[in-house]
Amino acid sequence: MEVVVHTREEAILYAEKVGYPLVMKVVGPVHKSDVGGVVLNVNSEESMLAEFQRMILIKDTTGILIQPMLSGTELFIGAKNEPNFGHMILCGLGGIFIEVLKDVKSGLAPLSFDEALEMINGLQGKKIIDGIRGQEGINKNKFAEIIVRVSQLVSEAPVIAEMDLNPLLATKDKIIAVDARIRIEKS
**Residues 133, 157 within the same domain:** yes
Q: How far apart are CA 79 and CA 180, in angstroms?
A: 11
Reduced to 3 states (helix: H, G, I; strand: E, B; else coil), residue 183 is strand
**Residues 64, 103 within the same domain:** no
In total, how many domains does the chain have? Answer: 2
pTM, full prediction: 0.77
**What is the reported pLDDT for 178?**
85
**What is the reported pLDDT for 129?**
95
**Residues 61, 89 within the same domain:** no
**Residues 155, 98 within the same domain:** yes
Range of the domain at 81: 73-184
Domain boundary among 36, 68, 100: 68
Averaged over successive runs of 10 residues, the pLDDT of the chain (187 residues) comes to 92 92 90 86 96 94 92 95 94 87 94 98 95 91 98 96 95 91 90
**What is the reported pLDDT for 179?**
84
Measuring CA to CA, which residue among 150, 57, 75, 170 is closest to residue 108?
150
Q: How far apart are CA 161 and CA 79, in angstroms?
A: 8
Domain harbouring 36, CATH code: 3.30.1490.20
Name the β-bridge partners of 182.
163
Which residue type does 118 have?
E
